Amino acid sequence: MEVLKVENLSKNYGQIKALKEVNFSVPAGTVFGILGPNGSGKTTLLGIIMDVLKASGGSYRLFGQEPTHEHRKQIGTLLETPNFYHYMTAVQNLKVSAAIKERGEDDIDRVLEIVNLAARKNSRFSTYSLGMKQRLAIGAALLGNPDVLVFDEPTNGLDPVGIAEIRELIKKLSQQGKTIIMASHLLDEVEKVCTHVAILKQGNLLTYGDVNEILVNEDVVEIRSSEMSRMEDVMKRIPGHTSIKLSEGNLHLLFPAGTADLASVNRFCFDNGITLSHLQLKKKSLESKFFELTN
């Protein structure tokens, strides 16, 4: 089942096109990352889905139906910086959240256990670290036990320990069967916790699908010889490569991760009358793949 289906979704602010006919769908049970640099349209997209903003064009469906207030009540959200009363305890703040949501007051002890704050449930919010504050905000989103969670930049501003805590929490929620839709500008975060990803750049959807297919690592074999133009023609015939390109005076052969064999490349060149002056294996990072897509 599709939890969310977005069709030709657009949002304009005067002459500025924040979203440009975006299309994708989120399968149930996935951790779906919406990835892109700041200003790419991620927060705008989530704001439209949660009815904080109105779309300029296109449509979307929740749980296979036209979205209603009842559908959104089935979704737990964290769309901005946690907004709690500093002088109140975790329990008191969650009671306020439950009253606003009109659900989940009998759920407070359970969610505090999930977000690992049960031992500090009677401490004032002002005494919490940034990571604890963010975990409490996720706890508020969990009130009423929704099946779908929407998080906008859930690790924003956190130190490495806080980031690790939120990542582990998201993994735990996913293992419990929750569908999680999260926006992030951090490639590392998406790669570590998401099963699916949509990549946005300046309001355009560049690609979406399974993380392992879109953010695939590759082996890059860098070669050089005195006969570059002839070598490029010859290397187009080498078995197993996915692409080939010139870069800064070198020829780059791309292979699926873990499949490049320097000895085989050298032998292929020798057998075809090419003598190499440079041969090196480089791993293509996810970061370089991301920058390729977004630059």
Residue 229: predicted pLDDT? 86
- Note the CATH number of domain 2-214: 3.40.50.300
Return the bridge partners of 179, or none: 148
Structural domain boundaries of the chain?
Answer: 2-214, 218-294
Residue 144 token pair: 């009423």
- Look at phi and psi of residue 23 and say left if phi exceeds 0, alpha if psi is from -120 to 50, else beta: beta
Instruction: Please state the pTM of the whole predicted model.
Output: 0.78
Among the listed residues 41, 32, 11, the one whose alpha carbon sits nearest the alpha carbon of residue 198: 32
Q: Are the C-beta atoms of residues 67 and 51 closer than 8 Å to each other?
A: yes
pLDDT, one tens digit per residue, over 44-79 is 999 999 999 999 999 999 999 999 888 888 899 998
What's the CATH fold of domain 218-294? Alpha-Beta Plaits (3.30.70)
Q: For residue range 110-166, what is the model confidence (pLDDT) as tens digits?
A: 999 999 999 999 999 999 999 999 999 999 999 999 999 999 999 988 899 999 999
Residue-wise pLDDT for 189-248, tens only, equals: 888 899 999 999 999 998 899 887 777 677 889 999 998 889 989 999 999 998 898 877
Residues 6+ apart with CB under 8 A from 112: 90, 91, 94, 118, 121, 139
